[in-house]
Chain A
Amino acid sequence: MFWNLPHIAVPADTLFTIGPLDVTNTLLITVVSALVVILFFYIPARHARIVPRFWQNVAEWMVQGLLNLCVEVAGPRNGRRFFPWVATIFFLTLVGNWWEVVPGIETIGGISREVPGCENLQFTSIFLTGNASNCITPWLRPPSTDLNFTLALAIISFIATQAYGFKLLGLGGQLGRYFTFKEGPLGLIVGLLELVLEPLRIISLSFRLFGNLFAGDVLLLVISFLLPVVGAIPFYFLELFVGFIQAFVFAFLTLIFMALGTTIHGHEDAEEEHAAELAHAEHERAAFVLAQKERQPEEVSVA
């Protein structure tokens, strides 16, 4: 055989340790992804112009699109409040997912003797071929193929949702979402069911992302093994699409949960509140325009 099927394992590979912390290849690439996201937005934001250039235009387009989505779902005030959470989840996950199709990811790394069959092999080249082709610990692996990453995001999403619920609804309001007696026994049961289901969202969120991305990763590895070089090309496009969709789904679900979590169960005035928020935003906009006008000297009108 020219090459073996790559070694597939669910746990991420530890590269080195810092004290009690195992630094895995997925943790390393999460940090790299975070830096990429920061640089991608910081550089155009730092040198922002009123007439944007290409990079700034792209960054603003993405931010504005996501902000509009947040405002549409959660209203103007809560939309802006939830935006940093949703945007951070989306961009970090997106960049993390797209590492999957970058050459060198999962194919460059150190030699691993822990893989079955690699214990007694002699390695004579930096290129691993034949039976040694799967004896590798990749230095970088897409973060979403590690349950630690997806679980961390899901826990953050859950905690942020609950925190905003307590902050915006108050202790009584937030607990009232689960222990409601106004709507009779049925309402109470629904509330309790919601209480039980709330933490289960962590599992659904984390396993959805992990499952999709891990399956895609395995798909690419297997196809590359069966039909190297050209076989995986169509699947790269598929994985780009899946990576985007999964990042969007995770971020959008977080936004939905946050919007729902800050609405009192059976609240009938929600639409009125939303309308009031819109009116408030419009009022603020008008005040801003007025202030801008007052700052400027009076223009001499055309006689």
Chain B
Amino acid sequence: MILADQLPLGINVGNLIAQVVTFIILLIVLGKYVFPLLFKTMDQRAATIREGVENAEKSRRELAEAQQRVEALLEQARRDAQASIGRATAAAEQVRAGIERDAQQRAQDILTQAERRIQQEVAQARVQLRQEVADLAIQAAEHVVGKSMDQATSRRLVNEFVAQSDARARDLQC
């Protein structure tokens, strides 16, 4: 029988066919049932990894955009705060100037009043001094003359003398 015949180098047709059949069965099992399972898993993994990478990329982009937005908002807030500070500073400056102006005005008023009062008191003291000088002068004149002068005449003379003295003193000051 040809299947059982032994050819040179141990070649046996039956055995050869059996080897071929074994190989074909293995090929079918691996090619139809085993490798597709592995490929399916590997493709799923590749898709998952790819998706993960894309999501990470998307998240990275969104994070960058969010950071840009945050930066813009911070910049805007900084500008607004700066403007508010400027306005507040200007207002404070105005208030300060107003207060200073009022204070100066008030001080000026007080000064004016004080000067006026001083002038009044000076004038008053001058009148009083003039009277006292006149009295002293009359008393001195009475001692000198030895007789009394009537009061009205004496006072008139002294006052005229004092007035002339004042006028002379003013002329000298001028």
Contact = CB atoms under 8 A, between A and B. Distances in A.
B42 A38 contact: no
B19 A87 contact: no
A10 B62 CA distance: 71
A118 interface: no
Nearest to B37: A45
Contacts of B39: 63
Contacts of A41: 30, 34-35, 38
Contacts of A42: 29, 33-34, 37
Contact of B26 (A26, A34, A292): A34
Interface in A10-24: 10-12, 17, 20-24
Interface residues of B, number: 45
Interface stretch (B44-52, B90-98, B163-171): B44-52
B3 interface: yes
A292 B51 contact: yes
B31 to A, nearest CB: 3
A10 B9 contact: yes
A9 to B, nearest CB: 8
A217 to B, nearest CB: 14
B45 A50 contact: yes
Given A143-B19, A148-B15, A289-B51, 11 more contacts: A20-B14, A27-B15, A34-B25, A41-B35, A42-B34, A84-B30, A92-B26, A152-B20, A155-B16, A299-B55, A302-B63
Given A22-B4, A84-B27, A151 B37 contact: no
A83 interface: yes
A87 B35 contact: yes
Contacts of A26: 15
B83 to A, nearest CB: 27
Interface of A: 9-12, 17, 20-24, 26-27, 30-31, 34, 37-38, 41-42, 44-46, 48-50, 52, 56, 59-60, 63-64, 83-85, 87-89, 91-92, 143, 146-149, 151-153, 155-156, 288-289, 292-293, 296, 299, 301-303
Contacts of B23: 34, 88-89, 92, 152-153, 156
Contacts of A296: 51
Contacts, number: 142
A88 B27 contact: yes
Contact of A21 (B3, B41, B50): B3
A149 B35 contact: no
B66 interface: yes
A60 to B, nearest CB: 6
Interface of A is mostly: helix
B12 interface: yes
Given A38-B30, A84-B31, A152-B23, A12 B66 contact: no
Contacts of A84: 27, 30-31, 35
B18 interface: yes
A120 B20 CA distance: 38
B6 interface: yes
Given A10-B10, A22-B4, A45-B41, A88 B31 contact: yes
Contacts of A143: 19
For the complex of A and B, 6 pairs with smallest distance between CB atoms: A11-B10, A84-B31, A152-B19, A45-B37, A48-B41, A20-B3
Given A22-B4, A27-B19, A38-B26, A302 B38 contact: no
B22 interface: yes
